[in-house]
Amino acid sequence: MKKLLFFSKNLEIGGMEKSLIILLNHLCKDYKIDLILEEKKGLLLKDLDSSINIKEYKLSQNKIKVVRKFINFMKRFFWGIANKNKYDFSCNYATYSYLGSRLVQIASSNSSLYVHNNYYDVYNQDVELVKDFFANHRLNKFKNIILVSNESKNDLLKIYGNLESKMRVINNLIDYEQVLTLAEEKCDINIKKEDVNFVYIGRLDNEAKNLELMLKAFLEVSKIDNSKKLYLVGNGPFKNNIEDFIKKNKLNKTIFLVGERKNPYNILKKGDVLILTSNYEGYPVVYSEALILHKEIMTTIPTSDEVIDINDFCVKIEKNKQDIVEKIVNFKKNTKKYNFDFQKINSMRLSMIKELIEVE
């Protein structure tokens, strides 16, 4: 049985983390898997199959820089001696972790980097900053570069055209059965059917998610149409700013901050539309989850993968308040049904990943 190594930061609630668990729980039926985490913590830990071996690789936090760097260098040195080409396949699933890239490149000659965001947009199309980011990953040393969207791949090709043969678009697997099951659970949030309910699910982070723009748009909407409501599901560094904004502008009957939830689907099911005003995205897992529940999507990032083009199922909004306010005010409820075979889609994606694993 082949041995696989995956690396990630932790297993707190997040789209990337949920997707990793779904992938590993499928792969562990055919392979022996070690999962290395920088921090062995998170609510999702217990969702991993018991056959998956979880290890922690904790970096030194010594306050003295020279001491910290020495400890971390020696730790990686001895880890490398023990794990050099020990695995048949290795993957850094946390794109932002340089440590992850170092470890998986040591662990196997058949190494992959899973790119979950569009870093051309993350760095505002600054080619040199993108190069600096991926230079720290030693991108050319990976055998495979897996991206979750066509847009991410095409933008990366603008800079790394010579690496095209290594690039694959393989979006995340979706546990569609779990989404449908959890959506039926009783919801403790009083979401009124007579309102038009917008739902945001994700990290409460303004830099990437541009939540300040969303809040300002709903402030204007509240002056025009008080039937439009916003439910924010998640946690993050912008939470206090949101609370202050709601209080300052007396929006407690328009904007509802409902916190981080392992089951956001019963809220999404009661909502009418998923909304994102992001500055950049790869291909958000929540897009697929919205389509499973037959919800329309309003977004600034209508991205596509190897199967689904969100342009076909969304209301496109610009990154400006006026356009967002207009689209929200004019949004009408609908009863669209999307007939995607996510079982077939999952099987296809899993087969594509297994092809990378099985390469001799």
pLDDT per residue as tens digits for the range 217-232: 999 999 999 999 999 9
Cβ neighbors of 122 (< 8 A, separation 6 or more) are 208, 280
Indicate whether 359 pLDDT > 90: no
For the chain, the average pLDDT equals 95
Q: Are 55 and 207 in contact (CB under 8 A)?
A: no
Helix (H, G, I), strand (E, B) or coil at 232: strand
Q: Are 317 and 300 in contact (CB under 8 A)?
A: yes
Q: What is the CATH number of domain 3-174+344-358?
A: 3.40.50.2000
Domains 3-174+344-358 and 176-330 share a fold: yes
**Matching residue, tokens 């995956």:** 6
Rounded CA-CA distance 302/251 in Å is 29
Tell me the per-residue pLDDT of 302-358, one tens digit each, with 9 for 90 and over.
999 999 999 998 999 999 999 999 999 999 887 778 889 999 999 999 999 999 999
Mean pLDDT of 97-102: 96
**Matching residue, tokens 């779990």:** 178
Every domain of the chain and the residues it spans: 3-174+344-358, 176-330
Q: For position 337, what pLDDT does the model report?
A: 81
Rounded CA-CA distance 246/169 in Å is 40
Tell me the per-residue pLDDT of 175-184, one tens digit each, with 9 for 90 and over.
999 999 999 9
**pLDDT band per the 50, 70, 90 thresholds, residue 53:** very high
DSSP state string for 271-323:
SSEEEE--S--S--HHHHHHHHTT-EEEES---B-SS-BGGGGEEE--SSHHH
Mean pLDDT of 18-44: 96
**Matching residue, tokens 């001799």:** 360
Cα-flanking dihedrals φ and ψ of residue 82, to 5°? Answer: -80, -25
Q: What is the CATH number of domain 176-330?
A: 3.40.50.2000
Q: For position 230, what pLDDT does the model report?
A: 98
Element (H, E) at 136: helix 127-137
Nearest 5°: the CA angle 237, 238, 239 is 95
Indicate whether 29 pLDDT > 90: yes
